[in-house]
Structure 1
């Protein structure tokens, strides 16, 4: 299954690691319905950026999980290869 890194740019306010942890937990609850597996995430609180690593059949499936879980869809999604 392809591996993706998605990027969220939160220009309208600060982001906290606690808020992102809650959003990630919501993703984990919804991911099975889309054949998706969210693996990890990183937060840059100062820049308001979130990065998510996900196994998914395609980029839209990964974004569908975010949309259903909390509405915060990615601004960018990049297919990546693990090194």
Structure 2
């Protein structure tokens, strides 16, 4: 399954708020065949990054839309390298 990194721009974002939204994503993801792996928060920059296995970018964003309404501003297909 493809791997995506999405980017959210949210003024005033907090790590606590993102943790709550991530829990809602986890509760919703199976409905869309998606698996959210990790997320990162930069409170100073107002940025949130989510790493997700999904059949396509729209499925990844659909989880956010249905779970809490905070859809990504950008989504990039990425590949993992060590």
Aligned length: 81
Unaligned runs of 5+ in 1: none
Structure 1 runs of 4+ aligned residues shifted over 2 Å read: none
Following the alignment from structure 1 to structure 2, what is the Cα–Cα distance between the partners of residues 33 and 16?
A: 27
TM-score of the pair, normalised by structure 1: 0.96
Following the alignment from structure 1 to structure 2, what is the Cα–Cα distance between the partners of residues 69 and 46?
A: 25
- State the Cα deviation string for residues 27-66 of structure 1 (Å, max 9, x = none): 0000000000000000000111000000000000000000
TM-score of the pair, normalised by structure 2: 0.97
Alpha-carbon RMSD across the aligned residues, in angstroms, is 0.5
Of 61, 69, 72, the match for 1:71 = 69
Alignment match, 1:40: 38
